[in-house]
Amino acid sequence: MMLGSRSFLAGISMVAMLAAGTFGVRANDSLLKAQSEAGQWAVAGHDYGNTRFSSLKQINAENAGKLSLAYSFSLGSLRSNEASPIVVGNTLYVSTSWGPKYVYALDAATGARKWTYEPEIPDDVLQYACCDVNNRGVAYADGKLFVGRLDGKLTALDAATGKALWTTKVVDYKQGSVITSPPLVVRDKVITGFGGGEYGVRGALLAFDINTGKQVWETFTVPSPEEPGGDTWKGDSAKHGGGAAWLVGSYDAKSDTVYWGTSNPAPWNTAVRSTGNGDFGKLTNLYTASTLALDPNTGKIKWHIQTTPADAWDYDGVNEAILADLKIGNNTVPALLKADRNGFFFVANRETGKVLSAEKFIFANWAEKWDIATMRAVENPDKRPGPGHPAKDICPNLIGGKNWQPMSYNPQTGLVYIPTNNVCMDWSVSDVTYKRGVFYLGAEFPTKEGPGGFLGELVAWDPVKNKKVWSIKEDLPFNGGTLTTGGNLVFAGDLHGDFRAIDAKTGNILWKRNLGSGIGAGPITYMVDGKQYVAVVVGRTAAIPAFLGEVGKKMTAAAPEGGSLFVFAVQ
């Protein structure tokens, strides 16, 4: 499901009003100022609304064919490099895989290295990282960088020198809880979740003081039996119930609300925590496979939308929420947009949590439709697996109609640009017993190719008309995230390593360059001394193909592993 509040799509004037307190609640002044300057990219998703839209237009649909390499930088770390850099002032900050192994500060115009931070990461983190040793970037505020680590810790760095200011333990990584995504800073708090749904952890979000690293609050995303929602779990299964909030959050300053997605419930065998035949009644396993709206001051859950109740397919609900104002009919709606792994694109009023629409954006047959009135999918009973009831040809596969790779929203075209997957699976469950730090699954899921002769698709989606406007078919899944700009462009990479500039209105590919390794990361754009740059990190995924059988073999054959930053400009 989705929720949200007023995003920063109105550009500098909107951010200025927020910073001035026009809408009542201030976020973080230094971060708001950085977001207000069009030439910077100060937040993982460019703004608190995760739009990944930049108003810069020096590089545009007319001159994109003239893009050339400004510089490249070797990250010194192979395997699953997935970070979106951030740019504050004239400095670009980028993290690597393996912990991260490194965090670099570079001159954003030349690539000259200013400093390097190298944390001490334990050698055994790989066995506790379900889906690879990735790190998707850092956060910034008040002259500090904040980086989550595979060893379950959160570190604050001096942005000018790279010196570690504090490090605090968020969670014990040896239970299967690693941190792979950038935290979210709201005022004087840095908020983070962690992974581990496949290890049977109990998910949580935590907030820490940005100056001291002291924990301020902790909110479990799976309720205990005595808490509200605890009766949606069978017995004491909630204590290993998953629901990890491992991707990125969004923030609405108008309502002072944070939005975060939660992962699949654990284990994958539904009989342990719910029922196996689809007649699950109240046993929906809150708050897994959901989007939560929380008070950033206290961590209290204001409301939620559960997109896949009693999830039986690993339809992890962590995908990012984009906050945007949409003109629907005669009304401007404060909307939250989410392309869920279950194959449905949700539009909700982010102030009330009311779902306005939920339509399939890819081929999905596990459900006929998602019913707004009941807040549940109308499932195809043949596609819900359970004890004694294996299911065949379920679409989408467990990697979802969209995985973590970020989508973007362009307020000028009114379109959302979504990297999607077209992969299916069979599914059967088996007995499973919880053991700390070990996969807690209880299912087998052989992969099948989706219909139509393609495995991925870059989709331009109209969230008001609920329809596809254009698409680019891909021969592989798990392709890169997107960036969209005021120059009528979309930038996106693929698993072959082709980085492309695409006409945002038509889908025509205007320019491409092969960068030598598969691309999963979302690109960014920024401006230094009057020149616009576009940057992307490359480094093919290594762990995900192991989940995908013959499809996975095609993925690993497409390009070698890598680890580099490439920056382009029109020279």
Q: Which helix (H) or strand (E) holds 462?
A: strand 456-462
Residue 208 within any structural domain of the chain: yes
Would you place residue 25 in the very low, low, confident or very high pLDDT band (cuts 50, 70, 90)? low
Closest among 294, 269, 211 to 28, alpha carbons compared: 211
| 226-250 pLDDT, tens digit each | 999 999 999 999 999 999 999 999 9
In a domain, 5, yes or no: no
DSSP E strand boundaries for 112-233 = 113-117, 139-141, 144-148, 153-158, 164-169, 184-186, 189-192, 204-209, 215-220
CATH value at residue 210: 2.140.10.10
Domain span including residue 117: 12-570
* 1, pLDDT greater than 90: no
Spatial separation of the C-alpha atoms in residues 343 and 338, rounded to whole Å: 10
Q: Quote the distance between the C-alpha of residue 131 and its chain's center.
A: 14
Average pLDDT over every residue of 294-308: 97
pLDDT given for residue 9 in this prediction: 32
Hey, is 226 helix, strand or coil? coil
At 279 the pLDDT is: 63
Task: Tell me which H or E stretch contains 557.
Answer: helix 549-558
Q: Does residue 216 form part of some domain?
A: yes
> What percentage of the chain reaches a pLDDT higher than 70?
95
pLDDT in tens, 453-462: 999 999 999 9
6: pLDDT strictly greater than 70 = no
Q: pLDDT class for 15, splitting at 50, 70, 90? A: very low
Confidence of residue 448 (pLDDT cuts 50, 70, 90): very high
Rounded to whole angstroms, the Cα distance separating 319 from 38 reads: 26
Taking residues 296-305, what's their average pLDDT? 97
d(CA 293, CA 99): 29
Residue 278 has what pLDDT?
60
Q: In angstroms, rounded to a whole number, what is the distance separating the alpha carbons of residues 428 and 223? A: 27
How far is residue 498's CA from residue 9's CA, in Å, rounded to a whole number?
A: 29
Is residue 20 scored above 70 in pLDDT?
no
The answer to whether 538 touches 492, Cβ cutoff 8 Å, is: no
Cα–Cα distance for residue pair 338/308, rounded to 1 Å: 13
228 within domain boundaries: yes
142-197 tens-digit pLDDT: 999 999 999 999 999 999 999 999 999 999 999 999 999 999 999 999 999 999 99
> Hunting for tokens 């998602």 — which residue is that?
370
Helix or strand (DSSP H, E) at 448: strand 447-449
Task: Flag whether pLDDT at 292 surpasses 50.
Answer: yes
Task: Let me know: does 44 contact 137? Beta carbons within 8 Å.
Answer: yes
pLDDT attached to residue 276: 61
State the average pLDDT over residues 6-11: 32
What does the block give as tokens for 143? 């002259």
Q: 550: helix, coil or strand?
A: helix
Q: Is residue 3 included in any domain, yes or no?
A: no
User: Per residue in 271-284, pLDDT tens?
Assistant: 999 976 666 678 99
Condensed to tens digits (0 to 9), the pLDDT of residues 470-485 reads 999 999 999 999 999 9
Rounded CA-CA distance 250/446 in Å is 34
> What is the pLDDT, as a whole number, of residue 11?
35
Does residue 44 have a pLDDT over 50?
yes
pLDDT at residue 36, as a whole number:
87
498's tokens = 């082709």
Question: Is residue 364 one of the residues assigned to a domain?
Answer: yes
Tell the residue number behind the tokens 């342990």, with chain if given: 272
CB contact burial 346-364 (16+ within 10 A = b; e otherwise): bbbbbbebebbbbbbbbbb
Does the residue 440 lie in any domain?
A: yes
Mean pLDDT of the chain: 94
Distance of CA 245 to CAs 174, 190, 202, 206, 316, Å?
17, 14, 10, 10, 10
Residue 486 near residue 54, CB atoms below 8 Å: yes
Number of structural domains (the chain) is: 1
Q: How far apart are CA 174 and CA 122, in angstroms?
A: 11
Residue 308 φ/ψ, nearest 5 degrees: -135, 85
Q: How far is Cα of residue 315 from the mean position of the Cα atoms in its chain?
A: 14
Residue 13 has pLDDT above 60, yes or no: no
Measured CA to CA, the distance from residue 389 to residue 405 in angstroms comes to: 32
Examine residue 324 and state whether it is found in any structural domain, yes or no.
yes
Q: Which residues are tagged catalytic?
A: 198, 264, 314
Return the exposure string of 436-455: e unless at least 16 CB atoms fall within 10 Å of the residue's CB, then b.
ebeebbbbebebbbbeeebb
User: 65: buried, middle or exposed (CB in 10 Å: 19+, 13-18, 0-12)?
Assistant: exposed
The predicted structure's pLDDT at residue 27: 76
Q: Between the CA of residue 369 and those of 13, 179, 358, 373, 423, what are the distances in Å?
A: 39, 34, 8, 12, 19
90 pLDDT more than 50: yes
Residue 449: name the closest of 430, 415, 474, 468 by CA: 474
